[in-house]
Amino acid sequence: MFSQAKIYVADLAAYNSGTLHGIWIDNLLDLTEVEEQIATMLSKSPIKRAEEYAIHDYAGFGNTDIGEFFSIEQVHNIALFLFENDEYGHLILSYCNEDIEEAKRMLTDCFQGQYDSVEDYAQEMLADSLQLPDNLTYYFDWERYARDLEMGGDIQTIEYENAVLIFSP
Protein backbone atom coordinates (compact mmCIF):
# COMPACT_ATOMS: atom_id res chain seq x y z
CA MET A 1 0.00 0.00 0.00
CA PHE A 2 2.71 2.49 0.96
CA SER A 3 5.13 1.51 -1.78
CA GLN A 4 4.06 4.57 -3.78
CA ALA A 5 4.56 7.36 -1.22
CA LYS A 6 4.89 10.40 -3.48
CA ILE A 7 4.96 14.13 -2.91
CA TYR A 8 4.30 16.98 -5.30
CA VAL A 9 6.92 19.65 -4.71
CA ALA A 10 5.99 23.05 -6.11
CA ASP A 11 8.30 25.91 -7.03
CA LEU A 12 7.05 28.77 -4.82
CA ALA A 13 8.48 31.56 -7.00
CA ALA A 14 6.57 30.25 -10.01
CA TYR A 15 3.46 29.56 -7.93
CA ASN A 16 3.44 33.10 -6.51
CA SER A 17 3.70 34.53 -10.03
CA GLY A 18 0.71 32.48 -11.19
CA THR A 19 2.54 29.61 -12.90
CA LEU A 20 2.38 25.99 -11.84
CA HIS A 21 5.81 24.42 -11.85
CA GLY A 22 6.70 21.38 -9.81
CA ILE A 23 7.39 17.68 -9.80
CA TRP A 24 6.02 14.45 -8.34
CA ILE A 25 8.76 12.62 -6.45
CA ASP A 26 8.85 9.05 -5.19
CA ASN A 27 9.66 9.66 -1.55
CA LEU A 28 11.06 6.17 -1.01
CA LEU A 29 14.11 7.05 -3.10
CA ASP A 30 17.34 7.84 -1.32
CA LEU A 31 17.06 11.23 0.42
CA THR A 32 19.93 12.60 -1.68
CA GLU A 33 18.06 11.67 -4.88
CA VAL A 34 14.91 13.41 -3.63
CA GLU A 35 16.88 16.57 -2.87
CA GLU A 36 18.60 16.40 -6.29
CA GLN A 37 15.23 16.15 -8.05
CA ILE A 38 14.00 19.22 -6.17
CA ALA A 39 17.16 21.15 -7.07
CA THR A 40 16.77 20.15 -10.74
CA MET A 41 13.11 21.22 -10.74
CA LEU A 42 14.04 24.61 -9.23
CA SER A 43 16.87 25.08 -11.76
CA LYS A 44 14.31 24.69 -14.57
CA SER A 45 11.93 27.22 -13.04
CA PRO A 46 10.37 29.84 -15.30
CA ILE A 47 11.41 32.34 -12.60
CA LYS A 48 15.13 33.08 -12.36
CA ARG A 49 16.93 32.12 -9.15
CA ALA A 50 13.99 30.16 -7.74
CA GLU A 51 15.01 28.54 -4.50
CA GLU A 52 11.95 28.02 -2.33
CA TYR A 53 9.55 25.12 -2.59
CA ALA A 54 6.62 23.60 -0.73
CA ILE A 55 4.79 20.30 -0.71
CA HIS A 56 1.48 20.99 -2.42
CA ASP A 57 0.15 17.44 -2.68
CA TYR A 58 0.95 13.90 -1.65
CA ALA A 59 -0.27 10.37 -2.26
CA GLY A 60 0.35 6.98 -0.74
CA PHE A 61 0.62 8.10 2.89
CA GLY A 62 -2.65 6.57 4.11
CA ASN A 63 -4.40 8.83 6.60
CA THR A 64 -1.15 10.54 7.61
CA ASP A 65 -1.25 14.30 7.05
CA ILE A 66 1.78 15.79 5.32
CA GLY A 67 2.16 19.50 5.93
CA GLU A 68 3.06 21.96 3.21
CA PHE A 69 6.26 22.97 4.94
CA PHE A 70 7.36 19.63 6.41
CA SER A 71 11.05 19.15 5.78
CA ILE A 72 11.94 16.76 2.98
CA GLU A 73 13.84 14.65 5.50
CA GLN A 74 10.78 14.44 7.77
CA VAL A 75 8.51 13.37 4.91
CA HIS A 76 11.14 10.89 3.72
CA ASN A 77 11.33 9.35 7.22
CA ILE A 78 7.54 9.11 7.40
CA ALA A 79 7.43 7.38 3.98
CA LEU A 80 10.08 4.87 5.07
CA PHE A 81 8.29 4.20 8.36
CA LEU A 82 5.01 3.58 6.55
CA PHE A 83 6.68 1.32 4.01
CA GLU A 84 8.47 -0.71 6.70
CA ASN A 85 5.34 -0.97 8.87
CA ASP A 86 2.73 -1.28 6.15
CA GLU A 87 0.01 -2.96 8.17
CA TYR A 88 -0.10 -0.75 11.28
CA GLY A 89 2.28 2.12 10.57
CA HIS A 90 -0.28 4.68 9.40
CA LEU A 91 -2.53 4.00 12.41
CA ILE A 92 0.27 4.35 14.93
CA LEU A 93 1.73 7.42 13.23
CA SER A 94 -1.68 9.10 13.20
CA TYR A 95 -2.22 8.15 16.86
CA CYS A 96 1.15 9.78 17.67
CA ASN A 97 0.27 13.00 15.78
CA GLU A 98 2.86 12.28 13.07
CA ASP A 99 5.67 12.11 15.68
CA ILE A 100 7.85 9.51 13.97
CA GLU A 101 10.08 8.85 16.99
CA GLU A 102 7.09 8.21 19.28
CA ALA A 103 5.53 5.94 16.65
CA LYS A 104 8.75 3.93 16.39
CA ARG A 105 8.94 3.66 20.19
CA MET A 106 5.35 2.47 20.42
CA LEU A 107 5.91 -0.20 17.78
CA THR A 108 9.20 -1.52 19.11
CA ASP A 109 8.78 -1.11 22.88
CA CYS A 110 5.05 -1.08 23.60
CA PHE A 111 3.19 -3.19 21.04
CA GLN A 112 1.42 -6.12 22.71
CA GLY A 113 -0.39 -7.42 19.66
CA GLN A 114 -3.62 -7.42 17.70
CA TYR A 115 -6.69 -8.88 19.39
CA ASP A 116 -10.35 -9.31 18.53
CA SER A 117 -11.23 -7.20 21.58
CA VAL A 118 -9.69 -5.60 24.64
CA GLU A 119 -11.47 -8.30 26.67
CA ASP A 120 -9.56 -11.01 24.75
CA TYR A 121 -6.27 -9.29 25.58
CA ALA A 122 -7.22 -8.89 29.24
CA GLN A 123 -8.23 -12.53 29.52
CA GLU A 124 -5.03 -13.78 27.87
CA MET A 125 -2.80 -11.45 29.88
CA LEU A 126 -4.36 -12.27 33.26
CA ALA A 127 -4.78 -15.97 32.59
CA ASP A 128 -1.10 -16.25 31.58
CA SER A 129 0.19 -14.35 34.58
CA LEU A 130 -2.06 -15.90 37.28
CA GLN A 131 -2.56 -19.40 35.89
CA LEU A 132 -6.26 -19.31 36.73
CA PRO A 133 -8.02 -22.67 36.66
CA ASP A 134 -10.55 -22.88 33.83
CA ASN A 135 -13.48 -23.29 36.20
CA LEU A 136 -12.69 -19.91 37.88
CA THR A 137 -12.44 -17.92 34.65
CA TYR A 138 -16.23 -18.14 34.24
CA TYR A 139 -16.69 -15.99 37.36
CA PHE A 140 -14.42 -13.19 36.20
CA ASP A 141 -15.86 -10.04 34.56
CA TRP A 142 -13.45 -9.67 31.63
CA GLU A 143 -15.28 -6.69 30.15
CA ARG A 144 -14.98 -4.69 33.37
CA TYR A 145 -11.35 -5.69 33.83
CA ALA A 146 -10.54 -4.66 30.24
CA ARG A 147 -12.27 -1.31 30.75
CA ASP A 148 -10.25 -0.74 33.93
CA LEU A 149 -7.01 -1.51 32.10
CA GLU A 150 -7.82 1.13 29.50
CA MET A 151 -9.19 3.76 31.86
CA GLY A 152 -6.36 3.25 34.34
CA GLY A 153 -3.74 3.87 31.66
CA ASP A 154 -2.34 0.33 31.85
CA ILE A 155 -2.88 -0.06 28.11
CA GLN A 156 -3.47 2.12 25.06
CA THR A 157 -5.64 0.90 22.21
CA ILE A 158 -6.10 1.70 18.54
CA GLU A 159 -9.14 0.37 16.69
CA TYR A 160 -8.16 -1.51 13.54
CA GLU A 161 -10.78 -2.92 11.18
CA ASN A 162 -12.60 -5.53 13.31
CA ALA A 163 -9.83 -5.73 15.87
CA VAL A 164 -7.87 -3.66 18.35
CA LEU A 165 -4.13 -3.00 18.65
CA ILE A 166 -2.90 -3.07 22.25
CA PHE A 167 0.08 -1.10 23.57
CA SER A 168 1.60 -0.87 27.01
CA PRO A 169 2.48 2.66 28.17
Domains of the chain by residue range: 2-84, 111-167
- CATH of the structural domain 2-84, one choice from 2.40.50.140, 3.40.640.10, 3.10.20.480, 3.10.520.10: 3.10.20.480
Contact between residue 25 and residue 38 where contact means Cβ atoms under 8 Å apart: yes
Angle at 31 between CA 30 and CA 35, to 5 degrees: 120
- Domains 2-84 and 111-167 in one fold: no
Q: What is the pLDDT of residues 92-148, one digit of tens each?
A: 998 898 889 999 999 999 999 999 999 999 988 887 777 767 777 777 788 998 999
Task: Return the CATH number of the domain spanning residue range 111-167.
Answer: 1.10.10
DSSP letter assigned to residue 29: S
Q: What is the pLDDT of residues 46-102, one digit of tens each?
A: 999 999 999 999 998 888 888 888 899 999 999 999 989 877 888 899 889 888 999
